Structure 1
Amino acid sequence: MSAKKAYPLRISAPVLEALQLWADDELRSLNAQIEYVLRDALRRAGRLPKPDQSGDASPGDEET
C-alpha cells in the first residue's frame, strides 16, 4: 500500500457541499470521495495507470 500524505485543500463551499452529498450517496467519507474523483480524472487523462485487473487494486480503488 502506498503512503498517504496530508495536503490542505481550499475549496468553495458549494463544491464541498456537492461532494459531501455525492459521498453520502456512495457511502464514502468526504476524503475518500475527493480521492476517488481525483484518481478517476487522472486515469481518464492518462496520467495514472488503470488498476490491475487481477484483483490487486489498492484499497479505495473499487468502484461502487
Structure 2
Amino acid sequence: MAEKKKFLLRLDPELYAVLERWAADELRSINAQIEFLLREAARRSGRLKPGPKPEKEGT
C-alpha cells in the first residue's frame, strides 16, 4: 500500500464528537471514517472515479 499523506486537521469539538460516535457505529477509526466520508463525497461530486469500496478497518 502506498504511504498516505499526513496533515493536521482542526475540527470543532462538537463535530469531532459526532464523527467519533459515527466511526464507532461503523467500526472504523475516526481517521478512517473521515477518509471514507471525504472519498464518498468526492465520488458523488464526480471528482473521483468510482472504484472498489475500501474495506472497513480491521477486516
The equivalent of 1:54 in structure 2 is: none
The equivalent of 2:36 in structure 1 is: 36
Uncovered stretches (5+) of structure 1, i.e. residues with no partner: 52-56
1:2 and 1:22 map into 2 onto residues whose CA distance is: 26
The equivalent of 1:46 in structure 2 is: 46
Output the amino acid matched with 1:9. Answer: L
Q: Displacement of 1:3 after TM fit?
A: 3.0
Which residue, 32, 54, 58 being the options, matches 1:61?
Answer: 54
| Secondary structure at 2:36 match in 1 | helix
Aligned residues: 56
Q: Note the aligned Cα RMSD (angstroms).
A: 1.7
1:36 and 1:10 map into 2 onto residues whose CA distance is: 18
Taking a change above 3 Å as real, the CA distance of residues 29 and 61 of structure 1, as seen in their structure-2 partners, is same
The equivalent of 2:12 in structure 1 is: 12
| Secondary structure at 1:23 match in 2 | helix
Q: Which runs of 4+ in 1 moved over 2 A?
A: none
**TM-score, reference length from structure 1:** 0.78
1:3 and 1:45 map into 2 onto residues whose CA distance is: 25
